[in-house]
Amino acid sequence: MDLPVMPPVKPMLAKSVKRIPPGMQYEAKWDGFRAIVHRDGDEVVIGSRTGKPLTRYFPELVTAVRDHLPPRCVVDGEIVVAHEGRLDFDRLSERIHPADSRVRLLAERTPASLVAFDLLALGDDSLMGMRQSERRTVLEAALAASGPPVHLAPATTDPEVAREWFERYEGAGLDGVVAKPLDLPYRPDTRAMYKIKHERTADVVVAGYRFHKSGPVVGSLLLGLYDDAGVLQHVGVCAAFPMKRRAELVTELEPLVTDAADHPWGAWADAEAHEHSRMPGAPSRWSGKKDMTWVAVRPERVCEVAYDHMEGDRFRHTAQFRRWRPDRTPSSCTYAQLEEVVRYDLAAVLSG
């Protein structure tokens, strides 16, 4: 491979803001695996956000890149998997598997797509110093003849359209809106763009915690909601606390610490138990040798957290602690309080 921009490349990133800023290029925020795709003839390298190769996990996309991208190019985009008309991150995550036979089986059952939204190089030219608006024009021309499973990400400079996308596209599993300054050159591994994500709140049960990697202070609180059968399901964690607050939480929760055997998630170490109920410590290809042990506390305290959206029956991302809710009973913390998003067909998003 001999391209003007060589792998690995870490992608340009976005910082969170509360509102859609004016005077920019706007795109939907895709919920998948960020990927930098290098193609030089038949040679294809798909790199992750951290620069590690993803190529072996998506053999169908290697073929698609050869069929639909220019012969020599570097494209920034997102790998996604669709299911029943919306993005499905869980099915996408299944593709990161050590067994090649499993990867190829899933490539047939749940094929991935590539959504392209930036162009870093074309032919013998690097475009990284070019303005965002100019790179977009070149990208549109370069992908004019492409087709599924390679898609050109819809983009607009109209903030009203961006606000409409922000509300409507969530029903297809998208994550918000990204705003890109029109004169922005491509800046790898720098938060030079802006992301606007949905934020909602929920009252959840605190049922345990994990220690922080730095020592005996709280690293994350383990959160639960009761399902229709009255079973406490693990829905995620909240973790962003100042170090002083982490130490205070250990003291606050100490009276509630209990033996895990007496806890609703007491069977967490049994792999089979995770097939019937959501509990912390589930086996995961992502966790590797990470210590998944946790401290059980009686599920008696309720806190309010902010979250962006759900992935099935759990928070898609780490939730943000807002406040304790002494006025709420744990039994009242159910899935019924969560807002249900109106569904929207992903095909309508990809059609622009």
Do 39 and 127 lie in one domain? The reply is yes
At 312 the pLDDT is: 81
186 falls within a domain: no
At 286 the pLDDT is: 46
297 falls within a domain: yes
Do 226 and 100 lie in one domain? The reply is no
How does pLDDT run along the chain (352 residues), one tens digit per residue?
999 999 999 999 999 898 999 999 999 999 899 999 999 999 999 999 988 999 999 999 999 999 999 999 999 999 999 998 889 988 999 999 999 999 999 999 999 999 999 999 999 999 999 999 999 999 999 999 999 999 999 999 999 999 999 989 988 888 899 999 999 999 999 999 999 988 888 999 999 999 998 889 999 999 999 999 999 999 999 998 999 999 999 999 999 999 888 898 887 767 676 676 788 876 555 455 566 689 999 999 999 998 888 888 888 889 999 999 988 899 999 998 887 676 788 888 887 6
Q: Which of 96, 128, 155 is the last residue of a domain?
A: 155
Do 141 and 239 lie in one domain? The reply is no
CA-to-CA distance for 13 and 7, rounded, in angstroms?
Answer: 17
- What pLDDT, in 10s, does the model give residues 134-156? 999 999 999 999 999 999 999 99
24 falls within a domain: no
2 falls within a domain: no
CA-to-CA distance for 207 and 264, rounded, in angstroms?
Answer: 9
DSSP3 helix / strand / coil % (the chain, rounded to 5):
25, 35, 40
Do 145 and 257 lie in one domain? The reply is no
How many structural domains does the chain have? 2
At 273 the pLDDT is: 63
Sign of the dihedral defined by the CA atoms of residues 190, 195, 198, 201, in that order: positive
CA-to-CA distance for 119 and 126, rounded, in angstroms?
Answer: 9
- What pLDDT, in 10s, does the model give residues 31-60? 899 999 999 999 999 999 988 999 999 999
Do 138 and 216 lie in one domain? The reply is no
At 66 the pLDDT is: 98
Do 220 and 315 lie in one domain? The reply is yes
| C-alpha distance from residue 172 to each of 114, 288, 317, 341, 344 (Å) | 16, 31, 17, 9, 5
| Parent domain of 83 | 29-155
Q: Residue 177 has which token pair?
A: 């809106």
CA-to-CA distance for 230 and 249, rounded, in angstroms?
Answer: 27
- Which positions are catalytic? 29
Q: Which of 135, 155, 175 is the last residue of a domain?
A: 155
pTM exceeds cut of 0.85: no
Do 141 and 224 lie in one domain? The reply is no
The CATH number of whichever domain residue 88 belongs to comes to 3.30.470.30
6 falls within a domain: no
1 falls within a domain: no
Do 148 and 224 lie in one domain? The reply is no
At 271 the pLDDT is: 66
246 falls within a domain: yes
Helices (H), 51-99: 59-68, 89-93
At 283 the pLDDT is: 54
Q: Which of 123, 155, 187 is the last residue of a domain?
A: 155
Q: 287 phi and psi, to 5 degrees?
A: -75, -30
Residues 6 or more apart whose Cβ sits within 8 Å of residue 70: 39, 122, 123, 142
Do 207 and 325 lie in one domain? The reply is yes
327 falls within a domain: yes
Do 208 and 317 lie in one domain? The reply is yes
The CATH number of whichever domain residue 281 belongs to comes to 2.40.50.140
Do 243 and 124 lie in one domain? The reply is no
